[in-house]
Amino acid sequence: MTVVLPEIIDRTLCQKLDHDDPLAALRDRFDVDDDVIYLDGNSLGRVPRATRARVDELVGHEWARGLVRGWTESAWMDSPHRVGAKLALLLGAAEDEVLVTDSTSVCLFKLLGAALRAHPERPVILTEHDNFPTDLYVAGGVAALLDGREVCAVARSQLHDALDDRVCALLLTHVDFRTGEQHDMRALTSAAHDAGALTIWDLSHSAGAVWLDLRAAGADLATGCGYKYLNGGPGAPAYMFVARALQAELTNPIPGWLGHASPFTFEEAYRPAPGMRGWMTGSPPVLAIAALEQAVDILLAADMAQLAEKSARLTELFIRLSDARLARFGFELATPRDASRRGAQVSLRHHLGYPIVRALIAHNVIADFRDPDLCRFGLAPLYTRYVDVWDAVERIVDVMDGATYARPEYAERGYIT
C-alpha cells in the first residue's frame, strides 16, 4: 500500500482530509471530549455512545425485570456466537469460526493446549522474543504442563529458519505492540504449513485497525483483544477463531459445562459441543459482551478497506510531521515507513521518552510509553481525525521547546497509559 500525501502539509490540508474522509461521521458515534487528543486507542478504545444506553437497558430491563428468563428470552446464551459472527466479518472469517469468550490470555491457552495435544510428535511452540509478554508466559505455562514440550523464542529474522518438523505451532502477534510492525500473515502462514506447523495469530493490534483476511491467508487459529481498537470497554472479552477444517480435529483443553453438547442435562461425562460452541468453558460475561457488540456494530458500519487506508494515511501523516518537526529533538522512528508493514500506531524512540509522555498527558495529548524508550501514538482510524495528528505534533513541539518534560514531577516512574 502506498500512501500519497501532498508535498506541503499544513493544518488546512488536515482539515480538508477530514472533510473528505468517508469515515468521518463514525466519530460522532463515540463519546468524545474535544479538549483531549486521544492517541491511546491501541491500549483502551473510546466509549461508543450506544454502549451506555444498551448496558442500561440490559441491567434495568432484561436483568431487573426478566431475571433468569434473560438467558433465553434476551438471547444472553447466544451472545458469544452472535457477536462472534459479527466479528468474523472484520476478520475475514466465516460466521461459525469465531467465538467471543474469556480474555486473550485464556484463549491463547486454549488454542495452544489444543494444538499441542493434537500433535504429540511435534514438541515445540515457535515464537519471537519480542512477542507480547502474555503470549510468551502462556506458551511457557502450557508447555510446562505437557511432558517434553518447549517454547522456542527467536529473533524475528530467525523465524523462517526455525520452522522445522519439531514445530507444532507458530505463535505470533500480527502487529507488534511496541513498534507497530506488521508481519506478513500470508507468507508466514504458508511457510508454517510447508513445515507442517499450525499458526496461531494474536490479532490484538490488528482487528479494527488494519486489513485482515484470515481465510485468504490460510490462518488456522487466532485470538485477539476486545478493548483496544474494538472499543469493547475495559477488560472486554476476547475472541477466538478456529478454522472450520480444524474444529473437529482440535479440542478445547478447558472443557467446561457450557462447552458440553448438552449443558442442561448435567451429564457426568464430558461430550464436546460441535463447532465453536465446544470452545466455551463457563458462563459468558453477558454485560461485557453487550458493550462489545455496540462497538462492533460501529466497525461494521465502516468499510474495512477504507478503515485500513485511513490507518495508513493517519500514520503516514504522523511520520511525515515527525520527520519534519520532531527529529530535531532526538526522536527516532521505530515504526516501518512502508505502510503495508505497519499497523495503526507510530512509535518514536527517545531516551527521555517516559517524562516526555508524562508531560504530553499533562498537556492533554494522551499517548503511552513502553520500555525502554518508546513513545507510542495510537491512531485508531474510527475516531482519530487528521487535525488531531496535526495538533498533537504541535503540542509535542511545544512540550519539547518549552522543555516542560524536564520538570521533576514527570520523571517519577509509575503506571501510565
Ligand X SMILES: *Cc1c(COP(=O)(O)O)cnc(C)c1O
Please pick, from the candidates 173, 231, 347, 384, the single residue that binds ligand X as defined by CB under 6 A: 173
| Residue closer to ligand X, measured from CB, 205 or 385 | 205
Cα separation, 374 vs 180, in Å, equals 11
Q: In this structure, are strands 150-154 and 98-101 parallel, antiparallel, or unpaired?
A: unpaired
Residue located via cell numbers 458500519: 301
Helices (H), 4-102: 11-19, 49-57, 70-73, 79-91
In 299-364, DSSP assigns E strands to 332-333, 345-349
Please pick, from the candidates 15, 105, 158, 404, the single residue that binds ligand X as defined by CB under 6 A: 105
Please pick, from the candidates 30, 76, 109, 132, the single residue that binds ligand X as defined by CB under 6 A: 132
Shortest distance (Å) from residue 270 CB to ligand X = 25
C-alpha cell at 345: 500506531
Check 227, 229, 239, 241 and give the catalytic one. 227
In order, the DSSP letters of 164-221 are -TTEEEEEEESB-TTT-BB--HHHHHHHHHHTT-EEEEE-TTTTTTS---HHHHT--E
104 binds ligand X (CB under 6 A): yes
C-alpha cell at 176: 507488534
Q: Is 132 a catalytic residue?
A: yes
Shortest distance (Å) from residue 73 CB to ligand X = 30
Cα separation, 64 vs 131, in Å, equals 43
Cα separation, 199 vs 263, in Å, equals 31
Shortest distance (Å) from residue 190 CB to ligand X = 22
Q: Is 376 a catalytic residue?
A: yes
Q: Is 38 a catalytic residue?
A: no
Please pick, from the candidates 30, 177, 201, 241, the single residue that binds ligand X as defined by CB under 6 A: 177
**Site size for ligand X (CB under 6 A):** 13
Please pick, from the candidates 238, 302, 334, 380, the single residue that binds ligand X as defined by CB under 6 A: 238
Shortest distance (Å) from residue 173 CB to ligand X = 4
Please pick, from the candidates 1, 63, 103, 257, the single residue that binds ligand X as defined by CB under 6 A: 103
Residues 186-225 interacting with ligand X (rule: CB under 6 A)? 202, 204-205, 225
In the complex, which residues of this chain contact ligand X (CB under 6 A)? Answer: 103-105, 132, 134-135, 173, 177, 202, 204-205, 225, 238
